[in-house]
Every structure is written in C-alpha cells, then in structure tokens.
Structure 1
Amino acid sequence: MSPALEAILQEYGSNPFRAMWFVFGHGGALILIPIMIRMATTGWLFWAREKFKHHVPHTLFKIEVPQNNEQSMKAVEQIFVQLYGIYDVPDWHQKWWLGFDQEQFSLELVSEGGYINYHVRAPTYYKELAQAAFYAHYPDAILTEVPDYTKDITVEMINTEKIKVWGSEMKLERADEFPIKTYPMFEHQIAQKSVDPFANILEFMSRLQPGEKLWYQIMIQPTDLGHLKEIAQHTIDTVVEPTGAGHIGPDIVDRIKDGITLLLAGLDKALFGGETVTISHEGPERLTERQRLTTPERELVEEVDKKASRWPFHTKIRFMYFASPKIFDDKKVRRGMIGALKLYRFINAFEEGKLTRTDWKVLPWRFFFSRRRLIMRARRMFWAYRSRDMERGEHEGFILSTEELASIFHFPQIEVRAPFVAKAQTRGVEPPTLLRFDDSEALAGPAVTLASGNTDSVRPEVTEVVPESPQPAPSVTVQPEQTAGEREAPSNLPFV
C-alpha cells in the first residue's frame, strides 16, 4: 500500500461522513451529475404535463341509446376509429415547454339503483368530433351535456363513513400485444347469430337496489401504432424463430458456393449479356420454421399480428361502488363485475389489481390501522376516478385495439333485454327538403351598404329601407247579373 493511500485511510477511515465528503470533493460529484439531470428532466416534464392537463376543458355527455338498436358492434368500432383521429406527435417545443399530453376520452356506465346511463367525456374542443362520431352510426341517439355526476359523492362522506366504498382497477395478465376475446369470436358461424358479452354487465348493473351506485369507467387515449407493431413483431419472432434449437441457415460451405455462383453469373452477364442471379436463404428458411409451428403457436401468431393491424388505445378500467352501511355488499359487486369480464379470456385476460382494491383481504399488514388505511385507499381511488387521470392508480394502463374496445363497451343490441337503460324516447327528424322559405324583403331585414366616400372602411352604414307606397288596385266594372229570361244562348249551339 502506498504511503499516500495509507495516510488517507488513517485520516478519513474512522469517520464515514468525512470519507464521503472527500470522495465527493475529489471527483465523486461527476457520478451524481447524470442522476441529477435525469431527476430534473423527469420532474420538469411531469410538472409541464400536469399543467397542460389542468388547462384542458372537458364536456360530459349523457347518451340516450336508440330504442331498437339494430347496429352491430362493428359500428362502435368505427366510432373508436374516428376518435383515433386526434392522435398527434408533439415536437420538441410542445413536449418539453408546453407539456403536451395526448388528450383522452372517458367511456362511462353509471347505475343508480339499477337505472343505467351511458356517458362519454371528451375535451371541449373535440366535442363536435365526438358527437359526429356517434351520430354518424346512431342517428337516433341523443347526446346531452350534463353536469358531472361524481360530484354527488363528497370526500367528507367517505371520511365519515356515511357511505361505504369499494373500488378496483383492472389490468391484463400478459403483455399488451396479446389480445383478449373480441366480438367476432362470439358469433355462431352456422346459425349466424352472435352472443353479446356485454349483456352480462348490463344485466348485473340493472339489478342494484335503491341506494346503491355502481360506476364503470374506461379511459382511452390514442397511442403510437408503431410501438404496438414493434412489440408484436418481437413476440412473433420469438415464437417463429426461437433462439438456438432448430435454426436452419447457410453454413460456410453454402456461402462459398454462393460466392462462386455470383462470380460466374457476373462474368456471364459482362461477356455474354446474361441475366442477374439473386441468391436468398431467407424465404425457404422462414417458411420451414412457420411449418414447424404447432396449432396453438400458429393461432397466437395470427392473433397477435391481427391486433397489431388495428388502431391502438392506451386504456385503463376502473370500478367504483357506493352504498349505505346497511345495504353495502362489496362481495356481490366484485364477483358480478369481475365474473362478467372473465368472458373475454383468450390469449390474454383481465385480472384485478391488488394495490388499488379497497377491501380488507388484500391489505398488507392488515391488522395495523386497517380501517384508516382502507379509507385512504378509497379516497385515492375516488379522486382518480373523478379526475379521469390515467396516471393515478396501480399501473399506467394497457393497450387495447379498436375491436377490443368495441367488445367491452357498446350499446345493447335489439335482442338484448335492457329495460333499465336510458333510451331515446323521441326520434330526431330532419326538415323536408322541399320545404319553402319566404325570402321576401320584409324578412330580409335592413339593407347594409358601405359608408359613402370611404371604400376602405369596414364599418357598415345601415340605411333604412322605406317600403314603397301601395299601388291602387285597378278598377273593375261589375256587370249586373242577368235573369234567366235575359240570358242569350251560346253561339256554338247547333240550330236547325
């Protein structure tokens, strides 16, 4: 050991704080600079995005569904395709200075005592887009702006336990590229009939008792299609081309043969005008590996590729249940709603998040301040639902395609009995195209002319229109009526 190092250890070895200060002052700060820069940029971006989201106004619509809905779930899928049109990629200034965050829509189903209402929440400057998307496929539906129904519940009611609360979030069991079961899979190919999987949720929500409230929320945000294709292709390559075993490729002998073949083909083309020769091992190799797939593997590859071909949405699903302590039954609601979503199990499936559940069984260290901790969880869950914030909660959400979204949220079809769903009682009818309008001067209003002598002036001068004096009616001479004896015979009568 060198004398210098031994002197340093003797001076700073007995005091760890002095040792840390020595390291920090002699170049150790350089290690912390990247960490500090990372923390600063992350904090700034979070603050800018929160400020941007706070200044985005929103409008909540209540949707009264058509009485006899004959549209299929394909129509709802087209609605989501149109809503995806707001997707935008921000530039550097929008992202880091303005804090641009992709706008979100909220699809909500509310049951109060068994009476169900559909709601959709959209940014105010996109409300015409949302209305056009729904009216294009459901012209008999009625969209009405309503106040936020979540304000009927207050934090004081939760803190004082005047009402009891159960809430939870859903997540996917596997990665985002694996699809759930969608509505085409519920169609019977021979009978040409489809089973509506969403009918289970509607039926359960319609069986709530007076005084019970159940909220079902689906937050959607358009996301990058390229990202979904990238992770989907990685999964497909992992299944089709497993690393190691069974890989068939050109060895050193094949490469030498290919080189000689290309050399001779080049000389033949230069001297005698022959054709160009191209050698490729990729096609037969990939075809051979595809043929070696089992039936489940082939189905997985096809379904993953199918999901990556549709527009993706970043999604989050929440439930909230409220009731007085006398009639509160969270087990009934939890089993009913979670059981209804089990119908969508396929390659992927929904599962309940544990960090946001507001029941006693999933609480870690449940015997320590369990009551107060459950109230805090319920309050956080309530604020996440009311603010419609996707970043709050157990996870940041998952990716669903337009077909998957249409499967878990759509209007009841005509064969589904949903008597307690709010439906449009009247039908909007456009005016007839041959309706005549009076365009006379009396309805035209005062004439507007520019100020005289100043052709550049943009301020109009209103001149009063003096109606013309009525013209006297032409005189008509009325002949006295002749008696029957004085009347002459018509000139065209035949005479003998």
Structure 2
Amino acid sequence: MLAVFFIFGLIARAWLMWRRSLYRKSVSFITYAIDIPPEEIKTPKAMENLISQLYAIKSKFNTFEKWWKGQYTLQTSLEIIAQDGYVQFCAYVPHKYEYLFKKAVYAQFSDAHISEIEDYAKAILTDDLISSNPAGRYELWGTEFMLTAASYYPIRTYSLFSDASGDEFADPLASLLEMMSHLHRGERFWYQVTITPTRKAWQKAGMQAIRDTVEGVTRKKLWVPEFLIPFFRIFADVMRLFIYSISPPGESAKPKKGAEKILTMVPPEHEIIIKAMREKLSRLGFSAHVRALYIAETGVFDKRQVAGDFQGIMRQFANPQMNSLASDMKVEVDFPQFLFPKTRAKWRKRWLLERAQFRYSGIGADKPRLWQRIKADQIKNILSVEELSGLWHFPIPEIADKLGLLRRVSSRKVHPKQLLPEGERGDSPGLDADVTFFAQTNYRALNRRFGIRQEDRRRHMYVIGKTGMGKTTLLENMIYQDIMRGEGVAVIDPHGDLAESVIDLIPQNRINDVVYFNPADQEYPIAFNIIGVENEAHRYLISSALVGIFKKIWADSWGPRLEYLLRNSLLTLLETRDNTILGVPRLFVDASYRKRLVKSVKDPVVRTFWESEYAKYNQTFQVEAVSPIQNKIGQFTTIPMIRNMIGQVQSKVNFREILDERKILIVNLAKGLIGEDVSALLGATIISKLQIAAMMRADRPESERQDFYMYIDEFQNFSTDSFAVILSEARKYRLNLVMAHQYIEQLDEMVAAAVFGNVGTSVVFGVGAEDARVLEAQYEPEFIAQDLVNLGKHEVVLRLMIDGATSRPFSAATLPPLGAREVSSRDKIIRASRERYSTPREVIEEKLQRWLALPSHEEKKLLNVNRT
C-alpha cells in the first residue's frame, strides 16, 4: 500500500511540474532598465517600501488553478548589471505586473526613469561558453548565496550600516558598484536578487523557535539523507492536495492563545537575538536567490579578483551569532569536485547560466529538467524586505557621483500640468489642421505626442541648444507640416543643410510655390535688388534697416560719420529709380552720376547734403570720408556671383506676394560658399523685407491676413537692433517666427531682452553651464541649471503657449523625422524657381558692363590717391 501511495505521489509531482512548465511558457516577462534619480538623498528605507509593494504579486490559487492550470506565484528579479564598465540597475518583472512594479518605483523615486530593454541575459548562449563549445568566446564564473542558518535568523540589515545618529551610512553596495565600474571591455557581471513572495509558514516556525528558547525546550532534529528529501516533499504535496480539496484556499491556523505573553518572558542572554528575530518576523518575507555571474572573453577573463571581491562583499552582511550568506556548494562553479571534476565544472557553468537566464527562484517550472526542479525545489532561503533592501538599493549620492559610468537620470523628467494640444488625431501619424506636432512627453514613458496651436504660434517660438542636440530635426518637422498643410513658409539658413533638407520635403503639388534663394547659383543669379522698394513710403524703413545691418556687420569699425554718409547715399538711391546698391561707391566718386541722381531727389535734407555739404569737402577729406564706405560696400560688389545678384535693377522676388499667396521661400545662405558677411547682409535684408511686407498688410482687416511662418536658424547672424520691433509688431500682421540658435552670448543685450520678453513658447535643448544659469530663472523650481546642462540628444524642456497662456515648464522628447524622403523633386524645384526668379549670368554681366563703364576722370584721381 505504501508503495502504491508513493508511486501515486511521484506521478502527481511529475504532473504538477509538467503543468507548471506549460504555464511558465505562457507567461511573459519584461526586462526594465532603471536609471537612478539625480541627487537622490533617500536611504534604503525607501527601497524597503518599494519591495514591500511587490509582495502584492503573491497569489492564491485553488486546487483547479494549481493542479490543472499549473499556476504559481511568479518571481521578480532585482538586478545590477555591468558591461565594459557601464553599470545599470535592472528589474525582471512578469508582464502582468508591469504597472504594479512601475507604480512601486515611482511612488518612492519619482524622478527615476524606467525603460524597457532586451533581456541582457539572453545575449549569451550556452554555446558561447568555452565549457560547452571549444569555439566559444566566453569563460564564466558564478555562484549563488544561501542562508547559513534558519530563515528566521536575520542577516545584517541596512540599519546596522549606519552610525548611532543615523546621519552616516556606510553603503554595503559601494564596493560592488566600484568593482563593476572597473570592468574592462569584454567583461560582464550580473548581480541578481530573485524574489518570490512566500507563505507565512517560516514566520510560524520562527515564533515557535522563540517560544522554545523562552521555555528552554530543545527539539531534536530528525536527520534525513538528502536524497530522500525530494520524496518527502512529494508526500507533502500529495497531502496538501487532499487538504486543499476539503478546506477553502487561504485558510490559516489561528495563533495560539497566550503567545504574546510568552514572548515577553525572554532570558537576558537571548534578548538581542530574539529581538532581532522578532524584528525580521514582523516584516514581509520573500523566497530569495542571490546570484552572481562573471562572464568575460577569454583574453580578459580574470575570475580571481572578481570572485574574491564579491565573496568579501557578501561577508559584509554576516550578522554574528545569527545568520549570514554563504556560497551554495551545489551551485558554485569552483566548488571542489572529486569525481569527474572537469566534466562537472563544465556542466555547472552551463547550468548556472541557464538559472540566471530563467531567473531561477526555486519555485515552479523555471528549469527545463524535471529532476533538477525536484532537487532544488526547497524553499528555505527567506529574506525580509529589510534584508532585501540592503542587498539591492540605489547608491547614496556620494557613491553615485564617484561612478562615472553608472546609468543615472541626467535630467529630471517633469509631466505637463496643463492639457496639451494633441489635435484631433491624438497619437496617429497624420497631420492636424490646427496643431503642429513637434514633441512627445517623456515623463515615466507616457509618450503622448503634442504640438502647438496655430493661434499660439503667433506669439513666436524660441529654440536654443548646443549643436548636434536635435534642433534641425525639430525645425524640419514643423516646416514639413506647414508645407503639407499649404501654409506660407520662409526658411533662412546660414549653413545650407536645413535648406537642402527642406527642398527634399516639397510635395509635387507645391513645386510652383517654391522660391529658392541660392546666392551660390552662379549660372542663374536670382534677381534681388537690396534697395528695391515696392512702395516709396517705405524707403526710410529700407534705409534704416540697411544701416542697422551694416552697423551690425562692421560694429568694430563703425562711426557716426560713416553712418551719416551711408544713410544719405542710400536715401538718394532709394528716391531715384533704377538703382542698386552698386551705386553707393559710384555716387561718391562719379560727379556726373551724382549730379544726375541728385536732380531727382525731392527730400530737401538729402539734397542739401549733396549740394551744400559734400560738394564743399576737399579732396583729402573726401578720401578719408569715402574710403571706409568704398572698402565695406566693395566687399559685396567685387564678388561676381553676389554682384550679379544684387546688381539687377528689377527684383523678381515680391515679398508681399510671397506672404499673401502662401509661397515657400527657401534661403540658402551657406557661409562656406558665399562668406560670413555676405550671408549676414542677405539674411538680415530678407528678414527686414519680410517684416516690411507684413506691415503693408495694414491695408486689409486682420481676419483676412494669412499666417506666414518664418524659420530662422542661427538667427543671431541676422538679428539687428530692429529685431525687437519685429518680435513685438509681427504678430499683428500674422508673421510668425521660429528662431533657433546655440547660446545666449551670441545675442546682443537688446535682442536677448526682446526675445525673452516677447516669445510665447521657448524650447531648450542641452545648453552650456553659463546659459543654464541664465535660463534657470525661467524654469525653476521644476528644473535646475544642472538639468538643462545634462539634457540628452533630442530631449528638451519647454514652456509651451497654450490658449494664450504660457505653461509651467515640463520635459519632452522631440519627434523623429516626419517627412518622407523616398522621392525628391529637387531638380524640378530648382528649374522652376530659376525660370521665375532668376536671370542667366551672361545677360546680367552684359548689363553690368554697360553700367560699369570706364570710371570718370574724378574717380581715377580718387583711386590713385587711395593707392598712395
């Protein structure tokens, strides 16, 4: 009869393991990387609270669920991994409990960052080990740690690593993290604390041990050979099967009466031990496996140092006369073997790698071999949440700061406190008629795409960040959406890359809307008369803007006389017809040319200057006064490709038409091709002409003015003193600016004040320390200067204009490129723009040769004087 009962138990055990293996295959796990919070001051007490919340994973199963479905309480693994010196906190969590885990982490560490990653343990296959395959690349050392005494005796907890005042905390993980950070390329170290909520039987056993101690009872332990333990467990499983069938799940034994009274009768010699036991028994317990694996390429494998260091680290947790963690001889790779030592060592390495990959917990069907499951399914390694928090916790700031390659949250992630504009389509990739998308929230991986509404864009947008942080991608995405919606757009780029990218984004139906302004196009110079005016009333605005531009370009050599002469010459050319800026030098040196133009001047002040003032200058004074103008204007007029462009009398680019008809103006001012001064002159002039064209819209009601979006990359190159007027006035005329640059010091004080005072939306990428200190005042208390400095690529903090009000600062990540680039219409666009707005080089040079005939006798004399 006993044999039948035993066979039945063995079959039941095999059945349970088979059902659990099927259940395990149906369950998915997620590996999370946890970037520890910046400047976190919390002690491991916060981690104790976190782990306590994971006890909710513990599940109760009825007989059907356990024996037919094979369900069991799933494990969680708290881990620290190191590879090539980089150190990362991780967690291995059942998919069904991912929200529970995230909630537990964020409840204690609100600034931590959790991201899903590929399971690092699966990257190493058993065939990659030399012990399994002679052609393998890796060697392995590893072990697992078990309690040396009964589970109800505590190891040393984190509270015992603090001084009496609690102010100083000697972090027990400091040595482990230090060791991990010093690993070389090709070396890996895995530290896993696999935990599973366990039944309270261990606590009952601990209370019984305390009662026995108090009462002086010594219980004899029945010695059982180890090979018989699995069979006794089979018998216990069968008995539990019958018990579950007659009693409801979850029913537990009632505590004995008078237990508390007995526990107060503690002998003095056992007081400390019993107090520590009671402290552990009062906390939640987890079945735990502490595992360490060192894997390295054969050329750098050095287990002696790593193994010795880790064994010493674990000895820190020894609690004298109570409990400690010691390497499990059944698992340790280097434990001496007397029979077939090499073969068994190879097998142990393979087995230990599998245990690490499956996060073996000693419960359920974590291993592929049935007999291994039966042998190892002995739940006796139980640690309290206080003990576990000492074994796995975030380092204190003093330690973290010393670990340069520890993965930390470099910059705080802050959630928006207002409802963001998400458009009608929400997270779909389509366009929205009113919202221009440019980023998505990155707080706790809640990636909600958002943008800015059309009305809010009229208050302008300011973007700052170091080079390579993602500003260009943000601009491209906004430009692409504007173009696809049929909006009017101007792109002014001093480098040329953005302009070239935008050309590739133009769809077929908007090819004829493009005005491609490329001064480097020598064969087909665009017709752009800098001093051309569409309305004579605006000639003073043009002259003032040009003087401001020249003043910015030549600030070091600028003076009042130079400004006075230049202003009068520009007003003269603007008041007469068919002139270009090439006439400025000639106006001062060609008397007949000057006389002819002055006759047409109606402004009495300008006319008096030429007839009553300049005419009385002697030749030496004229040379001194005129030479700076000749020198500066000559920088533009002596370059053939620039002269051919600005020397055309009739401009073919009508800026009012560009605004009203929603055209696409792409201005390629690559400094490397045309020079820095020329790029600044043309860019600032185009911006001024767009501003003047926008102001001309005063002749129609505001409701009829079309929105036009002007994107200016590296806008400090084109910002003059009048830029403040553009920022304050352009909104009324629906000229909406998006300005980007790298650092605040590039801006004049007046321009910087205008930007920060008038811009509704500001977006900050990673900036330098000086800029961070300036910007901190606008982004605190949500962000400090260090957060702005540490922003990663494509990460931003911003203040967004929402329904006319600027939001509180929050963090986000910019969107990846939105525009499709499979088919480009670049050649068609350039050809169409040339046909409409350019003139062949031969035609222009022929006209200029006729205009620039041999210099007059007076000009020759002046040139000879200049040479001497």
Flag whether TM exceeds 0.5 (same fold): yes
1:408-419, aligned counterparts within 5 Å? Answer: 408-416=391-399, 417-419=402-404
Larger helix proportion of the pair: 2
Alignment partners' CA distance in 2, 1:437 and 1:353: 56
Alpha carbons of 1:354 and 1:429: their partners in 2 closer, same or farther (altered >3 Å)? same
Alignment partners' CA distance in 1, 2:181 and 2:261: 56
What residue is the counterpart of 1:131 in the other structure? 102
Alignment partners' CA distance in 2, 1:284 and 1:201: 41
1:24-35, aligned counterparts within 5 Å? Answer: 30-35=1-6
- Of the two, which has the highest radius of gyration? 2
Amino acid in structure 2 at the alignment position of 1:240? V
What residue is the counterpart of 1:327 in the other structure? 300
Question: Is residue 211 from structure 1 mapped to residue 182 from structure 2 by the alignment?
Answer: no
Question: Is residue 164 from structure 1 mapped to residue 127 from structure 2 by the alignment?
Answer: no
Amino acid in structure 1 at the alignment position of 2:213? V
What residue is the counterpart of 1:313 in the other structure? 286
What residue is the counterpart of 1:45 in the other structure? 16
Alpha carbons of 1:287 and 1:72: their partners in 2 closer, same or farther (altered >3 Å)? closer
- For 2:383, what is the secondary structure of its paired residue? strand
TM-score, normalization by structure 1: 0.70
What residue is the counterpart of 1:264 in the other structure? none
1:58-457, aligned counterparts within 5 Å? Answer: 58-158=29-129, 159=132, 160=134, 161-190=136-165, 192-224=167-199, 226-243=200-217, 286=262, 289-290=265-266, 293-295=267-269, 297-346=270-319, 347-359=322-334, 362-365=336-339, 368=340, 370-391=341-362, 395=376, 396=378, 398-416=381-399, 417-433=402-418
Query: Could you tell me whether the CA contact under 8 Å between 1:53 and 1:101 is conserved in 2?
Result: no
Q: What is the CA deviation profile of residues 305-356 of structure 1, one whole-angstrom value per residue up to 9, with x for unaligned ones?
A: 1111111111111111112233222121111111101111112100001121
- For 2:316, what is the secondary structure of its paired residue? helix
Alignment partners' CA distance in 1, 2:49 and 2:192: 20
- For 1:193, what is the secondary structure of its paired residue? coil
Query: Could you tell me whether the CA contact under 8 Å between 2:288 and 2:382 is conserved in 1?
Result: yes
Query: Could you tell me whether the CA contact under 8 Å between 2:189 and 2:294 is conserved in 1?
Result: yes
Cα drift, residue 236 of structure 1: 0.2
Alpha carbons of 1:372 and 1:286: their partners in 2 closer, same or farther (altered >3 Å)? closer
Q: What is the CA deviation profile of residues 51-108 of structure 1, one whole-angstrom value per residue up to 9, with x for unaligned ones?
A: 1112111111111111211122111111111111121211111111111110111111
Alpha carbons of 1:285 and 1:124: their partners in 2 closer, same or farther (altered >3 Å)? closer
Cα drift, residue 201 of structure 1: 1.1
Give ranges in structure 2 of 5+ residues lacking alignment: 219-257, 425-431, 436-700, 702-868
Query: Could you tell me whether the CA contact under 8 Å between 2:214 and 2:263 is conserved in 1?
Result: no
Give ranges in structure 1 of 5+ residues lacking alignment: 1-29, 245-281, 445-472, 474-496
Cα drift, residue 208 of structure 1: 1.5
Alignment partners' CA distance in 2, 1:404 and 1:284: 25
Alpha carbons of 1:287 and 1:99: their partners in 2 closer, same or farther (altered >3 Å)? closer
Alignment partners' CA distance in 2, 1:41 and 1:285: 43
Alpha carbons of 1:237 and 1:148: their partners in 2 closer, same or farther (altered >3 Å)? same
Cα drift, residue 206 of structure 1: 1.3
Query: Could you tell me whether the CA contact under 8 Å between 1:412 and 1:418 is conserved in 2?
Result: no
Q: What is the CA deviation profile of residues 404-433 of structure 1, one whole-angstrom value per residue up to 9, with x for unaligned ones?
A: 111100011112233221111221112134
Alpha carbons of 1:382 and 1:285: their partners in 2 closer, same or farther (altered >3 Å)? closer
Bigger relative contact order, structure 1 or 2 (CA pairs below 8 A, ≥6 apart) = 1
Cα drift, residue 126 of structure 1: 1.0
Query: Could you tell me whether the CA contact under 8 Å between 1:219 and 1:388 is conserved in 2?
Result: yes
TM-score, normalization by structure 2: 0.41
The range that moved more, 410-419 or 348-357, is: 410-419
Amino acid in structure 2 at the alignment position of 1:43? A
Cα drift, residue 288 of structure 1: 8.9
- For 2:141, what is the secondary structure of its paired residue? strand
Q: What is the CA deviation profile of residues 204-254 of structure 1, one whole-angstrom value per residue up to 9, with x for unaligned ones?
A: 111222211111111111112x3132011111012111138xxxxxxxxxx
Query: Could you tell me whether the CA contact under 8 Å between 2:211 and 2:263 is conserved in 1?
Result: no
Alignment partners' CA distance in 1, 2:417 and 2:85: 40
Alignment partners' CA distance in 1, 2:287 and 2:88: 24
Alignment partners' CA distance in 2, 1:155 and 1:435: 49
Q: What is the CA deviation profile of residues 144-169 of structure 1, one whole-angstrom value per residue up to 9, with x for unaligned ones?
A: 11111123212222122432111111
Query: Could you tell me whether the CA contact under 8 Å between 1:109 and 1:216 is conserved in 2?
Result: yes
The range that moved more, 381-390 or 426-435, is: 426-435
Quick one: percent identity of the two aligned structures?
28
Alignment partners' CA distance in 2, 1:218 and 1:169: 10
Alignment partners' CA distance in 1, 2:261 and 2:155: 31
Cα drift, residue 122 of structure 1: 0.7
Cα drift, residue 442 of structure 1: 8.0
> What stretches of structure 1 move > 2 A for 4+ residues in a row?
282-290, 324-327, 370-373, 391-397, 417-420, 432-439, 441-444
Query: Could you tell me whether the CA contact under 8 Å between 1:108 and 1:118 is conserved in 2?
Result: yes
Alignment partners' CA distance in 2, 1:47 and 1:284: 43
Amino acid in structure 1 at the alignment position of 2:410? Q
Query: Could you tell me whether the CA contact under 8 Å between 1:111 and 1:117 is conserved in 2?
Result: yes
- For 1:197, what is the secondary structure of its paired residue? coil
- For 1:98, what is the secondary structure of its paired residue? coil
Cα drift, residue 176 of structure 1: 0.7
Amino acid in structure 1 at the alignment position of 2:217? T
Amino acid in structure 1 at the alignment position of 2:299? K
Cα drift, residue 110 of structure 1: 0.8
What residue is the counterpart of 1:453 in the other structure? none
Query: Could you tell me whether the CA contact under 8 Å between 2:140 and 2:295 is conserved in 1?
Result: yes
Cα drift, residue 389 of structure 1: 2.1
Alpha carbons of 1:378 and 1:35: their partners in 2 closer, same or farther (altered >3 Å)? same
Alignment partners' CA distance in 2, 1:83 and 1:212: 32
Query: Could you tell me whether the CA contact under 8 Å between 2:38 and 2:412 is conserved in 1?
Result: no
Alignment partners' CA distance in 1, 2:352 and 2:391: 22
Alignment partners' CA distance in 1, 2:110 and 2:45: 16
Amino acid in structure 1 at the alignment position of 2:97? Y
Query: Could you tell me whether the CA contact under 8 Å between 2:146 and 2:326 is conserved in 1?
Result: yes
Q: What is the CA deviation profile of residues 157-214 of structure 1, one whole-angstrom value per residue up to 9, with x for unaligned ones?
A: 2122432111111101101111111111111114732211111211111122221111
